[in-house]
């Protein structure tokens, strides 16, 4: 790993090679698709442009830029992946955040192109109360290492299982490749990144202190394993229907 060229006095500096800033992974989504969701949807396979070995081109520069903005401007620039320890994991599914596309589909996240409801047909409260979103929220955070917060990339089985057992539909052409053709690659990627960032997480003592009073994180610790491992959540033996888990 190449963390040595990043500022170590910043709490997230040691794993910023992997992540970009301003709410998106570095180098992800440079191309746009024009399927059902329109031009605001990235192509799913562009997620794989992040590499676990730290080779991300301008990632150090982006990290320095985001830290500069945070230190000199009265705004907080968000980093969806890199700020996982600060937010207690992934924000998606209405936990702290949702995305509504230009068609009105209410998605868990701007990167997760699946929905069960449309804001033109239901109230926001009804959309937030969907079984799909509740399923995701009940599993969050999806792992004990919050440097690995994402249910699409870090825990690819989580979004797949939540979509399938709640009957969520793809919100643009090609979205289902994330749950089908890309799954083997995503699992390989997730394993490699987990191996790389596990020792980093163990050394990130400030995050463990920060999370001591977080009820959701403590719930994950008590469960003893990540969501994509446990049969009662999204592991290989997990139920195909939410009702079967209740």
pTM of the prediction? 0.73
> In the structure encoding, which two tokens stand for residue 14, read together?
């040691």
- Cα–Cα distance between 6 and 15 in angstroms, integer? 9
In sequence order, which residues have a C-beta less than 8 Å from that of residue 103 and are 6 or more positions away?
36, 37, 38, 118, 171
Secondary structure of 75-88 as H, E, C letters: CCCCCCCCCHHHHC
The series of mean pLDDT values per 10 residues for the chain, 246 residues long, is 32 37 33 36 38 46 76 83 86 95 97 97 97 97 95 95 97 94 94 89 92 96 95 79 48
Which residue has 């968000």 as its token pair?
Answer: 78
């Amino acid at each position: 790993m190449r963390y040595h060229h990043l500022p170590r006095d910043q709490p997230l500096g040691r794993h910023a090679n992997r992540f970009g800033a301003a709410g998106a992974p570095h180098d992800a989504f440079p191309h746009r698709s024009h399927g059902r969701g329109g031009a605001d949807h990235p192509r799913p396979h562009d997620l794989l442009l992040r590499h676990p070995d730290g080779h991300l081109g301008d990632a150090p520069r982006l990290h320095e830029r985001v830290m500069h903005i945070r230190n000199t401007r009265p705004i907080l620039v968000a980093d969806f992946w890199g700020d996982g320890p600060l937010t207690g994991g992934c924000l998606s599914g209405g936990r702290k955040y949702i995305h509504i596309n230009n068609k009105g589909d209410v998605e868990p996240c701007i990167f997760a192109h699946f929905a069960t409801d449309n804001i033109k047909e239901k109230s926001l409260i009804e959309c937030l109360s969907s079984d799909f979103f509740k399923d995701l929220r009940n599993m969050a955070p999806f792992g004990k290492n919050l440097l690995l917060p994402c249910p699409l990339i870090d825990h690819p089985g989580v979004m797949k299982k939540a979509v399938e057992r709640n009957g969520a539909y793809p919100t643009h052409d090609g979205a289902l490749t994330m749950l089908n053709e890309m799954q083997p690659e995503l699992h390989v990627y997730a394993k490699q990144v987990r191996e790389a960032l596990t020792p980093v997480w163990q050394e990130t003592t400030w995050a463990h202190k920060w999370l001591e009073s977080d009820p959701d994180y403590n719930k994950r610790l008590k469960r003893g394993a990540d969501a994509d491992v446990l049969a009662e959540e999204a592991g290989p033996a997990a139920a195909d229907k939410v009702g079967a888990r209740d």
